[in-house]
Amino acid sequence: LCGDLKMQVPFPFSVLCFQVIKCKAAVLWEANKPFSIEEVEVAPPKQHEVRIKIVATGICRSDDHVVTGAVVMPFPIILGHEAAGVVESVGQGVTSVKPGDKVIPLFMPQCGECRNCLNTKGNMCIKTDFGASGGFMTDGTTRFTCKGKAIHHFIGTSTFTEYTVVHESAVTKIDSAAPLEKVCLIGCGFSTGYGAALQTAKVKPGSTCAVFGLGGVGLSVVMGCKAAGASRIIAVDINSDKFAKAKELGATDCINPKDYNKPIQEVLVEMTGGGVDYSFEVIGRTDTMIAALASCDYNYGVSVIVGVPPAAQNITFDPMLLFTGRNWKGSVFGGWKSKDSVPKLVADYMKKTFVLDPLITHTLPLTKINEGFDLLRKGK
């Protein structure tokens, strides 16, 4: 309430104090350049929008794809999509959250009304900005300005900033006791990998799995395969430094393609006597997508693409790989319906159903975000 208003009016009313917030943000002005820490203006939330104070945000390879141009987005832009924070203010009509609530922004919204939200098999809400390269809120405008210029949003979240604005369909309330610096990973990396195994592939007990790529998402796939009861989990990466962590989280075997003079899919087929039951590509490269497909059983194997595919690249493959019965699937946000599932995943974390600490390697202030991306690119 703005001030102490004493007025005679014929109906109940309230006056909300919506002001522009000035704060720090990591702005990417153009591709293949470092992030620039700038003072930005964050406009108040409009109807059905929520302004959030970001407490913690993860660095994801998908953000780096925009930096390198592998994913095409408009510039200038504020990236970031894996975060947790506290609601600062809400726009007219918002009912699901209120100021003070702990929340996780959702790059995959859940409007609850579109055909994908209403279908039990779908989770890719039509209100998502994922893959649309829009960079705006649903009304076609932005809530960020810097040095007099409009700054684009990133997949409806933009979390590399002290404050952000999202649509109500792209935020969900979580347990007030949850540690935001941990559960921010449920906003993307953990949920994406864990769900790819449990929701998309539906890994069965006693099965054999291969996981290509051991970043945060790949390690989360390993955790999902273990939770599903897989008897053998083969972790694949060209960085052997990642093998100890993979084994800690459930991998039974770790192999480096550089150690072999034959295609890695042939190695996996030989290791398993015909191929794995489930394979997961968690890198975002077309060559490893084909390798992952070819590494699973030719008749009943299931291969899941989890890594974000590079822009303007196509895959050419032998159709016999699919004709014999293999299933090739994609998985966005682990197949979870976001607003419904994220609070439940946070609750599971609070019950120690799974761990998140091993996925966190460094904690840095926003001003050192470029150092964080350097660590990501070096595989550290």
pTM for the complete prediction? 0.93
Domain total for the chain? 2
Q: Is the pLDDT of residue 1 over 50?
A: no
Q: What pLDDT, on a 0 to 100 scale, did the predictor assign at position 7?
A: 37
Range of the domain at 312: 201-330
Q: Is the pLDDT of residue 254 over 60?
A: yes
Q: What is the mean pLDDT of residues 7-13?
A: 38
248 shares its domain with 289: yes
Q: Is the pLDDT of residue 227 over 70?
A: yes
Q: What pLDDT, on a 0 to 100 scale, did the predictor assign at position 2?
A: 35
Q: Tell me the Ramachandran region of residue 312: left when phi exceeds 0, alpha when psi lies from -120 to 50, beta otherwise.
A: left
Residue at 35 is within a domain:
yes
Report, as residue numbers or ranges, the catalytic residues: 60, 62, 65, 81, 188
Q: How confident is the model at residue 14 (pLDDT cuts 50, 70, 90)?
A: very low
Q: What pLDDT, on a 0 to 100 scale, did the predictor assign at position 13?
A: 36
List, for residues 261-296, the tens digit of each pLDDT value.
999 999 999 999 999 999 999 999 999 999 999 999
Last residue of a domain, one of 292, 312, 330: 330
List, for residues 76-107, the tens digit of each pLDDT value.
999 999 999 999 999 999 999 999 999 999 99
Q: Is the pLDDT of residue 258 over 70?
A: yes
Q: Is the pLDDT of residue 16 over 70?
A: no
| 160: CATH | 3.90.180.10
325 shares its domain with 341: no
Q: How confident is the model at residue 131 (pLDDT cuts 50, 70, 90)?
A: low
List, for residues 144-178, the tens digit of each pLDDT value.
999 999 999 999 999 999 999 999 999 999 999 99
Q: How confident is the model at residue 127 (pLDDT cuts 50, 70, 90)?
A: confident
Q: Is the pLDDT of residue 28 over 80?
A: yes
Residue at 194 is within a domain:
no
176 shares its domain with 205: no
